[in-house]
Chains A and B, each alone.
Chain A
Amino acid sequence: AIQLTQSPSSLSASVGDRVTITCRASQGISSALAWYQQKPGKVPKALIFDGSSLESGVPSRFSGSGSGTDFTLTISSLQPEDFATYYCQQFNSFQGLTFGGGTKVEIK
């Protein structure tokens, strides 16, 4: 199965900071990567699909980039409601679907 490695596993940031989370795939996946946000006790919410496409209703401060094996989720100006855990995810028809281990964004 394709492995997804997220870094960092956690970070502390302040409101207004620019935050970047990376996701590395164990083999090339073109741009077929999604990003999710999960707040404590809540269900995951899709933010980005196909590497850089913004899901409907998601604020424009969230953006995704990358292709092949290296991907990035960027929050341009961190807001109080953005403190959460973020996951990347890919699906390959022959090797199934995998999530990254998650990145917890905490308040500094």
Chain B
Amino acid sequence: DAKTTQPPSMDCAEGRAANLPCNHSTISGNEYVYWYRQIHSQGPQYIIHGLKNNETNEMASLIITEDRKSSTLILPHATLRDTAVYYCIVRVAGAAGNKLTFGGGTRVLVKP
């Protein structure tokens, strides 16, 4: 699976949009971009994934650049409960045995 690069940490203000970048310059054509987050002392939570089109669900939006070498996860209105480590992972979809390789992630602190 392609490696990803994320900033180690970022702060954002409660109620504002949080934009989390991820670089994946070596992504292959059949690899999807997945985002998970892990709140302290809990298991990771799936947020969203996409291949090349922008995606939106009730939690977040995923913006993937046209060349697919980077993406941005957008939390539209950050709350204190969004404080967590956010992981950007690329993997081939469609095969249950395909592993998720977790990097360091971005530690997001939402401040009042």
A associates with B: no
